[in-house]
Amino acid sequence: MTIELRTERPSPDRLVLHLHGRLDANTYLEFDGAALPLLTELPHGATVVLDMAGLEYISSAGLRSVARIRKATRTLGGHTLLLDPQPQVRKVFDIVKAVPVSEVFTGTSELDAYLDRIQKKIIDEADGGK
């Protein structure tokens, strides 16, 4: 079993990474190699969404990969959001309290609502700035 990564770019400041398979000590290097270069292209304040619906398994090595993505996004001033983690994966995240609960979403609509709120906030800030 390996890891498969499919990327989607719905907007310039949003990157969606669809994960499939397992993210463990055997695959995290492959994942890191594929995902991290994509982050460098992102603009400031971009949002990275990790779609975990297809991720069957994650180990501590995988957690560390997620941590690296979150760190990279944070340096860009953006967010890393988790979408639809399977129960087993969710359990691992819960045990190590890997990400704030507010940044884990189930279902795209919930995510979209959240993203819209952020978008609006940014625009308001921009308007306020003018």
Applying CB under 8 A, which residues contact another protein?
A: 24-26, 57, 59-61, 63-64, 66-67, 70-71, 74, 80, 87-88, 92, 95-100
Nearer to another protein, 95 or 126 (CB): 95
Residue showing tokens 């990564």 = 5
Minimum Å gap between C-beta 26 and another protein is 5
- For residue 115, what are its two tokens? 């993203």
Minimum Å gap between C-beta 126 and another protein is 27
Nearer to another protein, 38 or 92 (CB): 92
**Three-state SS string across 35-95, please?**
HHHHHHCCCCCCEEEEEEEEEEEECHHHHHHHHHHHHHHHHCCCEEEEECCCHHHHHHHHH
Minimum Å gap between C-beta 72 and another protein is 9
Nearer to another protein, 67 or 108 (CB): 67
Residue showing tokens 């990275």 = 48
